[in-house]
Amino acid sequence: MPAADALVIENATAILPDRLLPHARVVLQDGRITRVGGASTRVPRGARVLDARGGYVSPGFVDVHVHGGGGADFMDGTPEAVRTACAVHARHGTTTIFPTTTTGDADEVARMIAACGVVRDEGGTTTGARIAGVHLYGPFFAADKVGCHSEAGRRDPTTAEYARYFATGIVRIATCAAELPGADRFFRRAAREGCLVTCGHSNASWTEMDRAFAAGMRHVDHFWCAMSSVASVRVRLGTPMQGSMEQYVLMQEGMSTEVIADGFHLAPELLRFALRMLGPRRLLLVTDASRAVDMPPGRYRFGPVATGTDFDHDGHVGRAPGGGLASSSVGMDHMVRTMVRATKAPLWEVVRMASLTPAERTGLADELGSLTPGTRADVVVLSPRLQVRQVIVGGHLLPRGTSRA
């Protein structure tokens, strides 16, 4: 685009991967970040100016685990539902998104993947978060760790089924419980496809995790949620007591994991513990958000609207019948604010967990996740209180109606 269409963000503190840069200017042109520097940084003649009003300029957030928002679940399987959820999460600073499957039958999963492909191919940079790939999450869960997902839609992996999903070319993250029959074949296939290979909704032992790691598994979904513990492995496998997913992730430096920092899934001390033990290069923030994001309290459906499970949104978090948690109901900006309050970590470390670290883990760090010249112009302008003021995707300012003041 001509210089007159370049955009300069100024009067801001830039959040870099390893520090804050006060009195910063960030220059965006041709859909890319072209310069990041101090107040004297040269800008193109005729460029538009966006005054950050003393707030922060952050890389756009990257959500690798998210189910829906705005009344829509990605598993509804329509382009309209996908667009709605992507627009809602852009409102909360997410500029790159990995729509995430739940349990469901093979046709429901296939429709979800196809709908995400339609929206991805549209571009979407003027309306919502950009789809970088699908997270194939359900249906390959352990029967005793299904959580709020539909138990009827859970099953063991078969080559015939998952080959259908991988053939679409859009699956970039792939999850399976490590103890299931056929899990190792799934992990090896996912690794060959270039996916971030993960274990989730699992009651796996240390030995099973070690075997999965050898097959290419490198990540565990939502730490402490629907995952094995020493006690749960003992119930399944008896004595002597064995290590679980928690111990394996903490000990194996090649592993990463994620936390849902909504203030309801994990207490502050667990967020502090996770960050202290793993550090911001191995710990990701995710929303694991349901269709209840930005919706009033009430009863909603988790997963496909026709066959999913009911949960109640109390205005803060989803709860399954009986009181168990049923996914989060907030966006990534909320996760960032909660993590900052709970851990007192430097802001750049917390933002890294919501941007550069997930970009690194999914092989996208050369393109996004940091305010680095040459990367995509995916940027969030935050207030001093870390509220979203403006979202920019690919150099396009999203309309005020799709971002918070």
Could you read off the pLDDT of 244-263 as tens digits, one per residue? 999 999 999 999 999 999 99
At residue 85, does pLDDT exceed 80?
yes
CA distances from 203 to 109, 148, 312, 319 (A): 23, 16, 26, 22
How far is 398 from 241, CA to CA, in rounded Å? 53
How far is 346 from 366, CA to CA, in rounded Å? 23
Across all residues in the chain, what is the average pLDDT?
Answer: 95
Q: Are strands 61-66 and 94-99 parallel, antiparallel or unpaired?
A: parallel
Contacts 24+ apart (CB under 8 A), 275-281: 275/339, 275/343, 275/345, 275/349, 277/250, 278/249, 278/250, 280/345, 280/349, 280/350, 280/352, 280/353, 280/357, 281/352, 281/357, 281/360
Q: What is the mean pLDDT of residues 228-251?
A: 97
Closest CA to 177 of 132, 144, 141, 226: 141
In this prediction, residue 28 carries a pLDDT of 97
At residue 123, does pLDDT exceed 90?
no
Grade residue 2 by pLDDT with cuts at 50, 70 and 90.
very low
Contacts 24+ apart (CB under 8 A), 184-191: 184/211, 184/212, 184/215, 185/157, 185/159, 186/140, 186/157, 186/162, 187/212, 187/215, 187/216, 187/217, 188/215, 188/216, 189/159, 189/162, 189/163, 190/162, 190/166, 190/216, 191/215, 191/216
Q: Omega before 2 cis (within 30°)? A: no
Q: What is the mean pLDDT of residues 52-60?
A: 98
How far is 331 from 89, CA to CA, in rounded Å? 6
At residue 403, does pLDDT exceed 50?
no
At residue 400, does pLDDT exceed 90?
no
Grade residue 323 by pLDDT with cuts at 50, 70 and 90.
confident
CA distances from 88 to 63, 99, 129, 391 (A): 13, 13, 8, 12
Burial of 367 (0-12, 13-18, 19+ CB in 10 A): middle
Element (H, E) at 84: helix 79-91
Closest CA to 143 of 133, 135, 151, 131: 151
Looking at residue 235, its amino acid is V
Could you read off the pLDDT of 15-47 as tens digits, one per residue? 999 999 999 999 999 999 999 999 998 989 889
Q: Determine what percent of the chain is predicted with pLDDT higher than 90.
A: 92
Q: What is the mean pLDDT of residues 266-291?
A: 98
In this prediction, residue 3 carries a pLDDT of 47
In this prediction, residue 124 carries a pLDDT of 58
DSSP 308: S
Q: What is the mean pLDDT of residues 48-77?
A: 98
How far is 24 from 266, CA to CA, in rounded Å? 35
The dihedral through the CA atoms of 129, 131, 135, 139 has a sign that is positive
SS3 state of residue 339: helix
Q: What is the mean pLDDT of residues 192-198?
A: 98
Which residues face 26 on adjacent strands? 9, 36
Q: What is the mean pLDDT of residues 53-57?
A: 98
In this prediction, residue 125 carries a pLDDT of 62
Our measurement of the distance from residue 228's CA atom to the centroid of its chain's CA atoms, rounded to an integer in Å, reads 21
At residue 397, does pLDDT exceed 60?
yes
Q: Determine what percent of the chain is predicted with pLDDT higher than 70.
A: 97
Model confidence, pTM? 0.96
Closest CA to 135 of 361, 371, 405: 361
Longest alpha-carbon distance in the chain: 72
Which residues face 58 on adjacent strands? 380
Grade residue 127 by pLDDT with cuts at 50, 70 and 90.
confident
Could you read off the pLDDT of 369-383 as tens digits, one per residue? 999 999 999 999 999
In this prediction, residue 1 carries a pLDDT of 39
At residue 364, does pLDDT exceed 60?
yes
In this prediction, residue 404 carries a pLDDT of 42
